[in-house]
Amino acid sequence: MHRSGVMMAWNVFKFCTALRGLGSIMILLVLGVVGVSYYAVVITNYGPALAAGGLDTLQALAVLISFHCLLVMLLWSYFSVVFTDPGSVPSSWRPTMDEERGDTDPLTASEFQSDTENRGIRYCRKCNQLKPPRCHHCSICGRCVLKMDHHCVWVVNCVGALNYKYFLLFLLYTFLETSLVALSLLPHFIAFFSDGEIPGTPGTLATTFLAFVLNMAFALSVLGFLIMHISMVAANTTTIEAYEKKATPKWRYDLGRKKNFEQVFGMDKRYWFIPSYSEEDLRRMPALQGLEYPSKPDLSPQEF
């Protein structure tokens, strides 16, 4: 009964194929929110304040510099998620002998009921190909994705092995940017409810009000997602694995918080907060993509 309930819940995603049609609409929606925020912060409020002189100029300069720096990182991270392939199964991939023994992947038991001899070999009946560990089929994209986390309608792409870091950076910079916009517009928002006269046209005032509400809502919602994904990075698990896996005393892929972090963000600290990897980390991609099992719980950084 429990198994059928889980399968029914999971099969709901089959009805989400209509999400493909959203396509560029979601990208335009994101750019629309960015545009409204830019107009309210730069054009309407803090751009003109640069000519005020004194502390007002310094405050406006600090807000504008921070706003533009975060905006660059936000858009860079966002389009990196959108245009980066999350990870496809290489046509030459074959399971190793350890995997073929069937005692490796804790998530294979429910997928290979008909294969009692090699239960560790995962096979996708929709793609007609072998599935590496931590690989899942996306019903929306119609293909298998390496170390799949979820399909995100906001980025119109799957989040998987090769763009998960970019997705996390997108969440981080979105939270920082929307928080900055909300805080910088807070005095203007309060002024809406004061008895004093507010400078500006009705159009600029409405844009400021809308930008504050949108950015406050995004900041609060993104914060929840960011906290959730930080906890999953610390445990080296994905959204799908957290949903599917059975309670086990030791998660096979948990290598410790530091090494779990390095498996997502790489080992070169200079690249941690930009949507890119060093050449050295790119050479470790087989482990990053989930094409390999950890050889032992205390996997060393050289084996990453």
Per-residue pLDDT of the chain (304 residues), as tens digits, is: 444 444 334 444 444 555 555 667 888 999 999 999 999 999 999 999 888 778 889 999 999 999 999 999 999 999 999 999 998 888 777 776 544 444 444 444 444 333 334 445 778 888 888 888 889 999 888 899 999 999 998 999 999 999 999 999 999 999 999 999 999 999 888 887 775 566 677 788 889 999 999 999 999 999 999 999 999 999 999 998 887 665 566 788 888 999 999 989 999 999 999 999 998 888 877 666 666 655 444 333 333 3
Within 8 A by CB and 6+ apart from 38, the residues are 71
Choice among 135, 144, 152, 158 that is catalytic? 152
- Residue appearing with tokens 């007609």: 128
Q: What is d(CA 170, CA 141) in angstroms, rounded to the nearest whole number? A: 21
- Kindly report, residue by residue over 22-60, the tens digit of the pLDDT: 667 888 999 999 999 999 999 999 999 888 778 889 999
Task: Report the predicted TM-score, pTM, of the whole model to 2 decimal places.
Answer: 0.81
- Kindly report, residue by residue over 166-216, the tens digit of the pLDDT: 999 999 999 999 999 999 999 888 887 775 566 677 788 889 999 999 999
Q: What is d(CA 235, CA 251) in angstroms, rounded to the nearest whole number? A: 8
List the one residue out of 86, 82, 84 whose CA is nearest residue 28: 82
Task: Confirm whether 138 is a catalytic residue.
Answer: no
From residue 160, give the alpha-carbon distance in Å to each of 87, 135, 237, 239: 6, 9, 12, 10
Helix pair 202-235, 164-191: axis angle to 10 deg: 140
Q: What angle do CA 125, 240, 284 make, to 5 degrees?
A: 85
Helices marked H in 1-54 — which ranges? Answer: 2-11, 24-38
Structure tokens at 28: 């335009």
